[in-house]
């Protein structure tokens, strides 16, 4: 599929994987709108890319409906949702605070649901669209201390499979992307130190993989894929 003039909304687009995806889409001639909570970072990111932005919290139902409507009205169509907004809180089960667990699920699960529902309503009427959920390899296999984050990504995988079953008949492609460790600010915000390495994944690798999946002719699609570093331990 040719991405020229395709209209995309990228949540969590002010930095990291979301920013890289928007940048890659624009490089292919697409039109991206960034959505995130931090207005300063968002404005700076949009200025770098020369694109539109919307300040909002995906965990609030009104944000999703308003953002999708705004993008569609501005461009006359809406083609791609990248459900990328998310964060993690990590602690052993016996130490996990309820508010941390709820906060992670509010963004990673409820936020993805709000955005996915708003996009799907538009895509079904339009008769086309791409809905991309950015999950994690933590959504394929849980680990110690990852109760909140891993369970949120397992939930996202389940929702993706449901949406795919519902939306294929409307020519809407629903994809799940599972990055392994990527060098971003995710770890710092989650409260742990990430060890840098020239062999660890960058956000650009995830963006490149997504662009490749989107460019497949619309008669076919990649339902789910994971992206691993070849040898991050050397």
Domains and CATH numbers, the chain: 7-227 (3.40.50.720)
**Dihedral through CA 186, CA 26, CA 118, CA 102, nearest 10?**
0
Active site residue: 149, 154, 163, 186, which one? 149
- Distance between CA atoms of 203 and 144, rounded to whole angstroms? 25
Given this model, what pLDDT does residue 207 score?
A: 98
- Distance between CA atoms of 54 and 46, rounded to whole angstroms? 10
Mean pLDDT of 156-183: 97
Mean pLDDT of 119-132: 98
Whether residue 149 lies in the annotated active site: yes
SS (H, E, C) the chain: CCCCCCEEEEECCCCHHHHHHHHHHHHCCCEEEEEECCHHHHHHHHHHHCCEEEECCCCCHHHHHHHHHHHHHHHCCCCEEEECCCCCCCECHHHCCHHHHHHHHHHHHHHHHHHHHHHHHHHHHHCCEEEEEECCHHHCCCCCCEHHHHHHHHHHHHHHHHHHHHHHHHCEEEEEEEECCECCCHHHHHCCCCCCCCCCECHHHHHHHHHHHHCCCCCCCCCEEEECCCCCCC
The larger pLDDT score, comparing residue 109 to residue 184, is at 109
- Distance between CA atoms of 107 and 8, rounded to whole angstroms? 20
Q: In what order do the strands lie in the sheet with 224-227?
A: 52-55, 31-36, 7-11, 80-83, 129-134, 172-179, 224-227
Given this model, what pLDDT does residue 1 score?
A: 87
- Distance between CA atoms of 194 and 183, rounded to whole angstroms? 8
Q: What are 134's strand-pairing partners?
A: 177
Instruction: State if pTM tops 0.75.
Output: yes
Mean pLDDT of 1-24: 97
Given this model, what pLDDT does residue 234 score?
A: 64
Nearest in space to 42 (alpha carbons), one of 68, 18, 13, 22: 13
Given this model, what pLDDT does residue 214 score?
A: 98
pLDDT tens digits, 64-123? 999 999 999 999 999 999 999 999 999 999 999 999 999 999 999 999 999 999 999 999
């Amino acid at each position: 599929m040719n991405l020229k003039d395709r209209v995309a909304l990228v949540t969590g687009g002010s930095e990291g994987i979301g920013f890289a995806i928007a940048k890659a889409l624009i490089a292919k001639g697409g039109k991206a709108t960034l959505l995130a909570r931090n207005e300063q970072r968002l404005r700076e990111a949009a200025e770098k890319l020369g694109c539109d932005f919307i300040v909002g919290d995906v965990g609030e139902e009104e944000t999703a409906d308003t953002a999708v409507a705004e993008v569609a009205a501005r461009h006359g169509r809406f083609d791609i949702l990248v459900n990328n907004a998310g964060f993690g809180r990590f602690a052993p089960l016996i130490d996990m605070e309820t508010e941390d667990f709820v906060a992670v699920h509010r963004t990673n699960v409820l936020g993805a649901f709000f955005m996915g529902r708003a996009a799907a309503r538009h895509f079904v009427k339009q008769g086309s669209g791409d809905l991309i959920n950015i999950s994690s390899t933590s959504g394929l296999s849980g680990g110690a201390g990852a109760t909140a984050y891993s369970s949120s990504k397992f939930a996202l995988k389940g929702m993706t499979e449901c949406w795919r079953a519902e939306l294929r008949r409307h020519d809407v492609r629903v994809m799940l992307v599972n990055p392994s460790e990527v060098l971003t600010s995710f770890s710092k915000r989650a409260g742990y130190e990430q060890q840098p390495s020239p062999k660890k994944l960058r956000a650009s690798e995830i963006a490149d993989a997504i662009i490749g999946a989107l460019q497949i002719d619309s008669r076919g699609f990649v339902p789910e894929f994971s992206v691993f570093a070849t040898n991050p331990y050397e």
